[in-house]
Amino acid sequence: MQINISNIPEEGLSLRFSKSKEWSHQFLPTGDKSGFRVQNIEVSCFVEKVLKSVSIKGKIKAGIKLECCRCLEEFNFPAEIEFKYVLTPVDDLKKDDLELTYKDLEYNYYEGDVIDLGQIMVEQIVLQIPIKPLCSDSCKGLCPVCGVNLNIEKCDHKAQQIGSSFAALKNFKANKER
Ligand SMILES: [Zn+2]
Ligand SMILES: [Zn+2]
């Protein structure tokens, strides 16, 4: 998804498009982050030339499937992202500044006459992925002993576990007091 800067009219350009999961997979290799799959992407944005820079603002709607870090079940994570970029031609930046702009996500640069919208969308989507995805705040996770999904099944290990950690705490205190 590329925009040729010379094709952007004076009054700006409204774009609306959607991408399939096949498209997103070429940018977002599976296994990049554990259990994260992008389903479909819808983008609407407005592209405008401001002096030599190009401003892009818009919205991305993405259906993402994530793996819960507690129960390991896959769940839907709908993301709605508003973004705004101001892209400056790379020639106008000194080399020292270039590193700074890399870090500043709201401010970027372009090279030549072409802007790659795909790159922008990928960046925005990756930023939305939580480091520890949870299917729900109250997810009970897996039993560390028998591995059943405690959201669905029950097992006897929970009581034992609490018992043993209390015992461990008791021993710890006893050792300290000695
Ligand atoms: Zn879960
Ligand atoms: Zn168990």
Residue 137 Cα, ligand 1 centroid: separation in angstroms? 8
Among all ligands shown, which has an atom nearest to the Cα of 69? 1
Distance 54 CA to ligand 2 centre (A): 57
Q: Domains in the chain: how many in total?
A: 2
Closest ligand (CA of 154): 2
* pLDDT 10s digits, 49-80: 988 889 999 999 999 889 999 999 999 999 99
Q: What is the pLDDT of residue 168?
A: 54
- In this structure, are strands 74-89 and 107-110 parallel, antiparallel, or unpaired? parallel
Residue 75 alpha carbon to ligand 1 centre in Å: 8
Evaluated on CA atoms 166, 167, 169, 170, the torsion sign reads: positive
Helix (H) or strand (E) holding 107: strand 107-110
**What integer pLDDT is reported at residue 140 of this predicted model?**
94
Which domain range does residue 153 map to? Answer: 140-178
Does 148 lie in the same domain as 112? Answer: no
- Note the pLDDT of residue 97: 59
Instruction: Answer yes or no: do 82 and 170 share one domain.
Output: no
In a domain, 77, yes or no: yes
**Ligand 2 geometric centre to CA of 161 (Å):** 9
> Could you report how far apart the first and last alpha carbons of the chain are, in Å?
69
Q: Is 135 among the domain residues?
A: no
Q: How far is the CA of 71 from the centre of ligand 2 (A)?
A: 13
> Is residue 133 one of the residues assigned to a domain?
no
pLDDT of residue 44: 95
Quote the pLDDT of residue 136: 95
pLDDT tens figures, 27-51: 665 554 455 778 888 999 999 998 8
98 and 14 both lie in a single domain: yes
Q: Which residues are placed with Cβ below 5 angstroms of ligand 1, an ion?
A: 68, 70-71, 135, 139
**Residues with Cβ < 8 Å from 115, sequence gap 6 or more?**
2, 3, 5, 47, 54, 56, 87
Q: Which of 55-59, 74-78, 114-118, 163-167 has the lowest mean pLDDT?
A: 163-167
